[in-house]
Amino acid sequence: MKTFSAKAQDVERKWYIIDAENKVLGQVAVEAANLLRGKNKPIFTPHVDTGDNVVVINADKVRLTGNKENAKIYTRYTGYVGNQKVETPKKVRARRPELLVERAVRGMIPHNKLGNAIAKKLHVYAGTEHKHEAQNPEVYEIA
């Protein structure tokens, strides 16, 4: 018996839409990452991009549990001496709410070239409006 390995050109891509309103950030990110990676498909192959496109709406209304809104920190470093930037989710939400979901999903996919290709299929919007109606995305419910 031979091991099946999916080919990139044989993958059938679908579009899913996830409504993040009043959903926990981690649960939204897990479902989005699994759809992007293609882990829900029987043809899943770890080294091939077998995933679908995901549109996340209402990213500004996503919930964080506990005291994470004020206690959690996002750190980045510009490369210059003394330029380490630290932000809480509260500040990130005020500045650019899509970034909360994007960072959470990005942390759950591979950190390599394959991960970069997978991340390009994620589309996050703060409100309910998005520009992907022509693709007829299916609504994906999070339990």
- Is 116 in a helix, a strand, or coil? helix
Instruction: Give pTM, 2 decimals.
Output: 0.93
The DSSP annotation for 44-89 comes to --TTS----EEEEE-GGG-B--TTHHHH--EEEE-SSTT-EEEE-H
Show contacts of 48-51: CB within 8 Å, 24+ apart.
Answer: 48/5, 48/6, 48/7, 48/8, 48/11, 49/8, 49/11, 49/114, 49/117, 49/118, 50/6, 50/11, 51/13, 51/118, 51/121
Q: How far is CA 134 from CA 15, 58, 59, in A?
A: 10, 19, 21
Q: Given this structure, which CATH class describes domain 14-64+90-139?
A: alpha beta
pLDDT in tens, 87-125: 999 999 999 999 999 999 999 999 999 999 999 999 999
pLDDT of residue 1: 83
pLDDT tens sequence across 15-69: 999 999 999 999 999 999 999 999 999 999 999 999 999 999 999 999 999 999 9
3-state class (DSSP) for residue 115: helix
CA–CA separation, 80 vs 47, rounded Å?
35
